Amino acid sequence: MEILITGGARGIGRALVETGAAAGARVTATHRGPVPAELLPKARWLPAEMTDPASIAALAPAHPGPLDVLICNAGVLKDRGQRLDNGYPPALWAEMFAVNVTGVFLTIQALLPALRRARGAKIAILSSQMASDSRAPGGAYIYRASKAAVLNLGRNLAVDLKAEGISVGIYHPGWVQTDMGGPSAAIAPAEAAQGLMARIAALSPATTGCFECWDGTPHPF
């Protein structure tokens, strides 16, 4: 099985690379910074900057063969602690949407030919419970809005790609002990990655467009 994971050098992405490699998949992963030495043999590494359309477009010729699973994991949360009265500057909106939304769409667009060359290909988009209209405690406006946008993106892609046999799942990875989630988060990256891989394995045309938690619990929109 051929898997491509964006943002594979850190956090949940790193755990997904390790989980996929341990299961015997041929893993390709993107990175924008240094790749830890111990990760180098676990995947084929491609540089990709999610704010740079040309960098994303370069993924297509780098992956000319069939692609069974595309996991859009790369994302940023940079608006933690911003104040409503004088925070959330326009440049921060532009940067976070470029990574969390536009970068996801452009990655899928670039790799769609490879996905079409596979049989029953799957796209997994990592959103968040913070995208849900039913979970709105305030704050983190840019992150919430961007994750809601990518949830909507995934739902609509599921409709457009279903006739081609390509399934799309959108997932909340859990509150994970990463730089983003913090050390007091609920689950370890390996647990989140194992759950996400199980969700992706279960994804099918019958469930395309789903919004699920890492443990398989359906998440309210």
Q: Which of 198, 197, 194, 201 is nearest to 167 (CA)?
A: 201
DSSP code at position 98: I
Compute the distance between CA of residue 134 and CA of residue 211 in angstroms, rounded to an integer: 13
Amino acid in position 159 = V
Interaxial angle between packed helices 141-161 and 90-97, expressed in degrees from 0 to 180 and rounded to the nearest 10: 30
Q: Would you name the residues annotated as active-site residues?
A: 143
In the chain, beta strands by DSSP E? 2-5, 26-31, 44-47, 69-72, 122-126, 167-172, 211-213
Instruction: Report H helices in 49-129.
Output: 53-57, 59-62, 90-97, 103-117
pLDDT value of residue 178? 83
Q: What is the CA radius of gyration of the chain?
A: 16
Q: What homologous superfamily is domain 2-213 in, according to CATH?
A: NAD(P)-binding Rossmann-like Domain (3.40.50.720)
The burial class, CB within 10 Å (0-12 / 13-18 / 19+), for 65 is exposed
Compute the distance between CA of residue 11 and CA of residue 177 in angstroms, rounded to an integer: 8
* CA dihedral sign, ordered 77, 191, 161, 158: negative
Compute the distance between CA of residue 4 and CA of residue 111 in angstroms, rounded to an integer: 10
Per-domain boundaries in the chain = 2-213
Q: Which of 129, 125, 151, 152 is nearest to 140 (CA)?
A: 129
Do 211 and 156 touch, CB atoms closer than 8 A? no
Q: What is the pLDDT along the chain (221 residues), one digit of tens a residue?
A: 999 999 999 999 999 999 999 999 999 999 999 999 999 999 999 999 999 999 999 999 999 999 999 999 999 999 999 999 999 999 999 999 999 999 999 999 999 999 999 999 999 999 999 999 887 889 999 999 999 999 999 999 999 999 999 999 999 998 888 877 888 777 899 999 999 999 999 999 999 999 999 999 999 88
End-to-end CA gap in the chain: 31
